[in-house]
Amino acid sequence: MTALQITSHTGAQRLFVLVAGLWVGSLLTVGYLVAPAVFSTMTDRQAAGMVAGTIFRIEAYLSLIICMALMVLANLLVTRGLNQYRLIRWILLAMLLCSIAAAFVFIPWMNSLRDNALAQGMPVMLSPSADLFGKLHGASSIFFSIQSLLGLFLVWRLTKAQQ
């Protein structure tokens, strides 16, 4: 690759790193600062769960949009000869799958269980669906942790010095 080719892609690469860094930062902030803060400050755990669920739903949709945009940009960079973005695309695909699972499986299912319990006049953790809700919450937490670790690896790879 020539020096002209490298400098012609510098702006796109810097934009990529900036967006990825902000996105991963938002994931970490929501998951490991905001959600625990909501639960530690609100006395009603049911209400805290609803607030946290809303925040995670917004983050999941935001992640879908940003991840797809970064995948398009990564594909563009690969087609222009920046082969270091080949691995980045796989990381993004894994992160996208985590976002899809959150946005279209875990969050809607857990919201449905919560809404059904509330319609019966009880919090979800006292309803017959409490066990299933707990399992879904655990699975969604695992997926979020995987997505967070992948995000850290993504940023680590993106900030690696290029030869």
Q: What is the pLDDT along the chain (163 residues), one digit of tens a residue?
A: 454 444 567 888 999 999 999 999 999 999 999 999 999 999 999 999 999 999 999 999 999 999 999 999 999 999 999 999 999 999 999 999 999 999 999 999 999 999 999 999 999 999 999 999 999 999 999 999 999 999 999 999 999 866 4
Residue 51: per-residue pLDDT: 96
Half-sphere exposure (CA, 13 Å, Cβ side) for 111? 15
User: Over the chain, what is the mean pLDDT?
Assistant: 93
Residue 28: per-residue pLDDT: 98
Q: Looking at this protein, which amino acid is placed at residue 7?
A: T
End-to-end CA separation in angstroms for the chain = 11
Phi, psi of 159 (to 5 degrees): -95, 5
Secondary structure (3-state) at 125: helix
Question: How many separate helices (H) and strands (E) can be counted in the chain?
Answer: 7, 0
